[in-house]
Structure 1
C-alpha cells in the first residue's frame, strides 16, 4: 500500500472501530496499522474487513437501530460471523440478508440466537469474563499467534475466527476455551493458513 493511501486507510479503520463500539481505547493509527500488518491477512486484508464492517453497520443502522445494537460482527477475510440475541426469526434472517448485500462478503455464519421478549436473560457479564479469560490464555502462550484469532462469546458458547498456522495450534486454542468454567461449547470458523478461501457471493 502506497504512503498516500495509508492515512485515509487508517482513518477508516479507526472510524469503523469506533462505530462498532469497541470496548478498548484507540491507542493510535500507527499502532492500529502495526497490529493489522502483523496479522496473516495483512494490512490490506484488515482494511477490507474494516470497510465491510462499516458498510454492514450502516445497513443495519438504517434498517433497524435495535439490530445494530443487538447483533455482533466478527469479520476475517470477508467471512462474517453474526452473534448476539434478537427477539424473532425475522430479525435473525434480516441481519444475514443485509450482510450478504455488502460488497466483499464471502461467507456468512449466522449464529444469532432468537429469544422472544420475556425469555430468560443471557448473562452478558459471564460471557465477557469467558472472553477475556480466553484472550489472556492465548496472549501468554508462545505457541499460539494470538493476533490471528478473534473470540466472541454468546450465552456460554465460544466462537472462534481467524487463521491458524496449523491444526495443532487450533486444537490448542480450542482446548483452552473448553477448560474455562461455564463454557457450554466451542465453535470454530478458523481457516487453516494456506487453505483456499471462499470466492464470495
Structure 2
C-alpha cells in the first residue's frame, strides 16, 4: 500500500473512531451519511444531482418515520443511493422488521427497499468499531485501485457483512467485490448495485455522468460467506494476503 493510501486509511480510521464513539450511546437510528455533499462529490458521482439531493431527503425523512415507531429493541441504519434504500441493523421481532420497511417504503421518492435487518440484539460497540475500520480499509483500497472508479460505490458494513451500493458495470462490481473480500474482517459481500453497460457509461461522460433516474434496479445476488483460510471446501486460492478466501458468485 502506498504512503498516500496509508495516510488516507489513518484519516478514515480516525474519523471512524469518532463515529464509533458516538454510536456507543443508545442511539436508535443511524442515517446513512449523505447529509452533506460537496461540489466535488456531485461532479464525480454517477447519480444525477437531483438523485443525490433526493437521497439526502430520503435518509432524513426515513429516519424521522422510523423514530416515530422505534422501541428499545430497534437499532436501524438507513442508507439511500439513487433512491434505493438499504436497511441494516437489528430489531426485536419480525413484526418490527416489517413495520420499519413499510414506513420507509412510504417515504417520497423511494424506488425500492432492500431490508437486511436482523432479528436479535443490536451490534456491540466493539462490532461497530470493527465495522467502521473495515469501511475505512475498503474505501482506501478502492481509491488505491487503478481499474475501478471508487466513487461508483457506497460502502456499508454491518457485523462484518459488506454492502456495496452504487451504479457500475458488472466488471467494476466484480472488481470492487474482490477488493472488499480481500480486507481482513470481511465475512460476506452483498452487492446492491445498479448494473449498467460500458456503452451506457461512455454515453454519459466516460464514467462520471449520472445514470438515468428512471432506470430500474438490477441487484446482483449476495456472495457466499467466506470459508476459513485453507479450508478444503474453499475451492479458491487465498486472495491478496488478507487472510480470506474468495468464493464464486452464486
Give the alignment's TM-score, normalised by structure 1: 0.75
- Structure 1 residue 34: deviation in Å? 2.6
* Equivalent residue, structure 2, for 1:50: 56
Residues 8-33 of structure 1, C-alpha deviation per residue, up to 9 Å, x if partnerless? xxxxxxxxxxx8384x9x9xx7x613
The residue aligned with 2:132 is: 128
Which of 151, 162, 175 is matched with 1:147 structurally? 151
Q: Which residue of 2 aligns with 1:92?
A: 97
Unaligned runs of at least 5 residues, structure 1: 1-18
Residues paired across the two proteins, number: 173
Q: Distance in 2 between matches of 1:139 and 1:156?
A: 20
Matching of residue 113 in structure 1 with residue 124 in structure 2: no
Conserved? CA contact 1:87–1:116, under 8 Å: yes
Partner residue, 1:172: 175
1:72 and 1:83 in contact (8 A); partners too: yes
Select 1:159's aligned residue among 158, 163, 167. 163
**Matching residue of 1:198:** 216
Structure 2 match to 1:11: none
Higher helix share: 1
Could you tell me how far apart the structure 2 residues matched to 1:101 and 1:147 are?
A: 28
The residue that corresponds to 1:6 in the other structure is none
Deviations 1:55-100 (CA, angstroms, capped at 9, x unpaired): 1111112222658x72112211111111112222222111111111
SS in 2 for 1:60: helix
Q: CA deviation at 1:180?
A: 1.5
Q: TM-score, normalised by structure 2?
A: 0.61
Rounded Cα–Cα distance in structure 2 between residues aligned with 1:99 and 1:93: 10
Structure 1 residue runs of 4 or more that deviate by more than 6 Å after TM superposition: 119-122
Could you tell me which runs of 5 or more consecutive residues in structure 2 were left unpaired when the two chains were aligned: 1-29, 201-210, 218-250
Q: Structure 1 residues 156 and 36, CA, compared in 2 at 3 Å: closer, same or farther?
A: same
Work out which of the two has the higher radius of gyration on C-alpha atoms and give 1 or 2: 2
Deviations 1:124-181 (A, max 9, x none): 22211211111110112232211121111111111110111x2211111000111122
